[in-house]
Amino acid sequence: MQKKTGGEGNRRDVWIAGAGLSAAVVARELAEAGYHVQVFEARDHIAGNCYTERDPETGIILHRYGPHIFHTGDDEVWDYVNRFTTFVPYDHKVWTTVGGRVFPLPISLATINQFYGRAMGPAEARDFLADIAEDIAHPENFEEQALSMIGRDLYEAFFKGYTEKQWGRSPTELPASILKRLPVRFSYEGSYFAHAHQALPSDGYTPMVEAMLDHPSITVHISTALDPAEVPDGVHLFWSGPLDAYFDHVHGHLGYRTLDFRHERSSGDFQGCPVMNYGEPDVPYTRITEHKHFAPWESHDSTIITREYSREAGPDDIPYYPIRLTNEKEQLALYVKAAQETQGVTFLGRLATYRYLDMDVCIREALDASRVFLAAEAKGERLPALLVSP
Whether 257 is catalytic is: yes
Please tell me the distance from the alpha carbon of residue 314 to that of residue 258, in angstroms, as a whole number.
8
Please tell me the distance from the alpha carbon of residue 304 to that of residue 297, in angstroms, as a whole number.
16
Burial class (CB in 10 A: 0-12, 13-18, 19+), 378: exposed
Mean pLDDT of the 253-260 span: 96
Whether 43 is catalytic is: no
Whether 265 is catalytic is: no
Whether 358 is catalytic is: yes
The total of other beta-carbon atoms located within 10 Å of residue 45's CB is 15
Whether 64 is catalytic is: no
Residue 371 in 3-state DSSP? helix
Whether 185 is catalytic is: yes
Mean pLDDT of the 13-35 span: 98
DSSP secondary structure code for residue 241 in this structure: S
First CA to last CA distance, the chain: 19
pLDDT digits (tens, 9 = 90+) for 88-145: 999 999 999 999 999 999 999 999 999 999 999 999 999 999 999 999 999 999 999 9
Kindly name the residue from 28, 287, 324, 364 that is annotated as catalytic.
Answer: 287
Residue 326's pLDDT band, with cuts at 50, 70 and 90, is: confident
Kindly name the residue from 227, 330, 356, 381 that is annotated as catalytic.
Answer: 356
Contact 220, 41 (CB under 8 A): yes
Share of the chain above pLDDT 90, in %: 91
The domain spans of the chain are: 94-180
Residue 58 in 3-state DSSP? coil
Kindly name the residue from 308, 324, 350, 365 that is annotated as catalytic.
Answer: 308
Kindly name the residue from 28, 185, 350, 364 that is annotated as catalytic.
Answer: 185
Kindly name the residue from 28, 257, 324, 364 that is annotated as catalytic.
Answer: 257
Please tell me the distance from the alpha carbon of residue 181 to that of residue 340, in angstroms, as a whole number.
30
